[in-house]
């Protein structure tokens, strides 16, 4: 009888220890995730605390247009496929670029994976190919209205909203990529960019960066300024305005449309993207003269944009996780973007492409045209002037450091 009582007591003690140390913590984890999910779903959209406020306070959003917003929600609403129950936050992300495109689309797909991994499955962004969720030109309004959750694109895609966005998407004769990033993160560029978005009711995260692009594919050599002026040229953004100022006939085209336009003879030449992307697009099949340097776009940002109220409603840890994923995407894009271009150039030369450089007088004329365009844009847009002045001030100061600190590497 004594042994029986001792055995029962020992069994009871072991059971209590096992329950409190092994079973209870495992039961607690799902409960914590359910609580976090419930809090995220019920959090007031308009509350901003010290924990979730940004460096600059959100500006007033434009007056609401309920009829327009409801139209967008109806037009772009989709029911996502069933996903694992563990995700506390599921957002649909429309992309301006096909996932098959190196860097441009691949960085968007990588973001999808990184957010899932960093959040341990608590946050899911579903990448949607261009046009499958919403047309690229309509992504901004769809995000602002809450019709979709997020979008991935270069800021220049929204140039119709504000011309200042163009300065964050490719600056003719602008700073090299490391200087550009320094201005963005430390020199005040990000605050200006965020202010542009917040005024529209949208929040942005810098979520990728692109190395210099090739500055044009041409069917025949462009040897003189007169040759350039006679071109029908596919070129976008500020670079397109510069080429047009110089006399070229400019047509704006998305990256995916350049091949078709050249194939049909609608243009004589075009710029698309980096050598690795251009190789993927097959532009070498239609034109053999590939020009450098990248006077038109030495550095490009890629942005993730989300609805401002939805961003403010996230838990601090969720915002931190998304920020971390985007920061890692910038790192990866910078390293991969530079590392892959030489291999792409080698492959292109094997396929018969001739790597050409612009004549000095053409570059001088393009630079002079750019100064004229920048002056005109600054006069017509207060936001453009603000961003352009900030960048110029930073470059003047950064240039002194570059000459002192980086001088030996240039010898």
What digits encode the pLDDT tens for the residues 58-89? 445 555 565 655 554 444 444 334 444 556 89
Q: What's the confidence (pLDDT) of residue 56?
A: 44
Give the Cα separation of 147 and 141 in Å (integer). 8
With a cut of 70, say whether residue 148 has pLDDT above it: yes
Give the Cα separation of 195 and 370 in Å (integer). 25
Q: In what order do the strands lie in the sheet with 289-292?
A: 249-251, 232-234, 269-270, 217-218, 289-292, 354-357
With a cut of 80, say whether residue 234 has pLDDT above it: yes
With a cut of 60, say whether residue 46 has pLDDT above it: no
Is the Cα torsion angle 27, 28, 33, 36 positive or negative in sign? positive
For the beta carbon of residue 257, count every other beta carbon within 10 angstroms: 15
Give the pairing type, strands 150-153 and 300-307.
antiparallel
From 219, 269, 229, 162, select the one nearest 369 (Cα to Cα): 229
Question: Looking at 79-122, which runs of residues are DSSP E strands?
Answer: 89-95
Mean of all residue pLDDT scores within the chain: 82
Is the Cα torsion angle 35, 41, 42, 44 positive or negative in sign? positive
The full DSSP string for 153-214 is: E-GGGGTTT-GGGGGGT--TT---HHHHHHHHHTSSHHHHHHHHHHTTTEEEEEEEEEPPPP
Give the Cα separation of 75 and 96 in Å (integer). 18
Q: What's the confidence (pLDDT) of residue 65?
A: 63
Instruction: Point out the least confidently predicted range of 35-44, 84-93, 329-338, 364-373.
Output: 35-44
**Residue entry with tokens 């001739």:** 354
Q: 68-211+299-338 maps to which CATH number?
A: 3.40.190.170
Q: What's the confidence (pLDDT) of residue 301?
A: 94
With a cut of 50, say whether residue 196 has pLDDT above it: yes
- Quickly state the pLDDT bin for 49 (edges 50, 70, 90): very low
**Residue entry with tokens 């190789």:** 279
* Residues 215 and 296: beta-carbon distance below 8 Å: yes
Query: Which residues, including other chains, have CB under 8 Å from residue 242's CB and lie 6 or more apart?
Result: 172, 296, 366, 369, 370, 373
* Residues 169 and 239: beta-carbon distance below 8 Å: no
Distances in whole angstroms, Cα of residue 47 to Cα of each of 41, 42, 61, 226, 362: 14, 12, 15, 59, 54
Give 340-350 pLDDT, tens digit per residue.
Answer: 999 999 999 99
Give the Cα separation of 120 and 398 in Å (integer). 40
With a cut of 80, say whether residue 190 has pLDDT above it: yes
Give the Cα separation of 365 and 383 in Å (integer). 27
Q: What is the mean pLDDT of residues 26-40?
A: 41
Distances in whole angstroms, Cα of residue 54 to Cα of each of 58, 154, 201, 329: 8, 21, 14, 21
- Quickly state the pLDDT bin for 405 (edges 50, 70, 90): confident
Q: What's the confidence (pLDDT) of residue 62?
A: 55
- Quickly state the pLDDT bin for 157 (edges 50, 70, 90): very high
- Quickly state the pLDDT bin for 21 (edges 50, 70, 90): very low
- Quickly state the pLDDT bin for 47 (edges 50, 70, 90): very low
Highest mean pLDDT among 19-28, 176-185, 277-286: 176-185
Q: What's the confidence (pLDDT) of residue 275?
A: 92
With a cut of 70, say whether residue 3 has pLDDT above it: no
Distances in whole angstroms, Cα of residue 241 to Cα of each of 9, 271, 394: 86, 14, 24
For the beta carbon of residue 75, count every other beta carbon within 10 angstroms: 12
Q: What's the confidence (pLDDT) of residue 87?
A: 66
Give 296-331 pLDDT, tens digit per residue.
Answer: 999 999 999 999 999 999 999 999 999 999 999 999
- Quickly state the pLDDT bin for 262 (edges 50, 70, 90): confident
Element spanning 316, H or E: helix 316-339
With a cut of 70, say whether residue 32 has pLDDT above it: no
Q: What's the confidence (pLDDT) of residue 257?
A: 84
Q: What's the confidence (pLDDT) of residue 271?
A: 87
Tell me the HSE value of 233 on the side-chain side, using a 13 A CA sphere. Answer: 27
Q: What's the confidence (pLDDT) of residue 170?
A: 87
Q: What is the mean pLDDT of residues 279-300?
A: 91
pTM of the model: 0.75
Q: What's the confidence (pLDDT) of residue 256?
A: 72
With a cut of 50, say whether residue 358 has pLDDT above it: yes
């Amino acid at each position: 009888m004594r042994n029986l009582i001792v055995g029962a007591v020992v069994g009871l003690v072991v059971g209590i220890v096992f329950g409190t140390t092994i079973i209870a913590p495992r039961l607690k984890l799902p409960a914590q995730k359910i609580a976090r999910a419930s809090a995220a779903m019920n959090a007031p959209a308009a509350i901003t605390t010290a924990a979730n406020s940004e460096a600059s306070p959100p500006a007033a959003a434009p007056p609401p247009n309920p009829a327009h917003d409801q139209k967008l929600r109806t037009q772009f609403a989709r029911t996502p496929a069933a996903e694992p129950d563990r995700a506390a936050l599921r957002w649909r992300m429309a992309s301006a670029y096909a996932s098959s495109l190196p860097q441009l689309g691949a960085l968007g797909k990588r973001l999808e994976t990184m957010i899932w991994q960093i959040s341990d499955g608590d946050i899911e962004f579903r990448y949607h190919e261009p046009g499958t969720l919403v047309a690229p030109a309509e992504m901004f309004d769809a995000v602002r209205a809450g019709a979709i959750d997020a979008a991935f694109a270069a800021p220049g895609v929204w140039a119709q909203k504000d011309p200042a966005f163009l300065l964050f998407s490719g600056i003719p004769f602008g700073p090299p990529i490391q200087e550009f990033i320094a201005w963005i993160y430390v020199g005040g560029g990000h605050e200006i960019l965020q202010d542009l978005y917040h005024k529209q009711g949208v929040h942005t995260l810098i979520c990728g960066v692109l190395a210099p692009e090739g500055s044009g594919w041409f069917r025949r050599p462009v040897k003189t300024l007169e040759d350039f002026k006679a071109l029908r040229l596919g070129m976008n953004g500020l670079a397109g305005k510069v080429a047009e100022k110089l006399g070229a006939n400019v047509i704006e085209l998305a990256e995916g449309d350049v091949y078709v336009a050249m194939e049909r003879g609608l243009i004589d030449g075009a710029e698309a993207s980096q050598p690795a992307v251009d190789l993927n697009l097959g532009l070498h099949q239609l034109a053999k003269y590939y020009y450098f340097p990248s006077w038109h776009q030495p550095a490009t940002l890629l942005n993730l944009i989300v609805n401002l109220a939805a961003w403010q409603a996230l838990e601090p840890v969720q915002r931190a996780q998304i920020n971390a994923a985007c920061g890692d995407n910038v790192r990866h894009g910078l390293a991969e973007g530079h590392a892959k271009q030489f291999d792409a150039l080698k492959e292109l030369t094997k396929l018969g492409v001739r790597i050409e450089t612009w004549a000095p007088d053409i570059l001088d004329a393009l630079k002079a045209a750019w100064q004229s365009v920048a002056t005109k844009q600054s006069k017509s847009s207060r936001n453009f002037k603000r961003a352009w002045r900030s960048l110029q001030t930073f470059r003047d100061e950064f240039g002194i450091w570059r000459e002192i600190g980086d001088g030996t590497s240039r010898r």
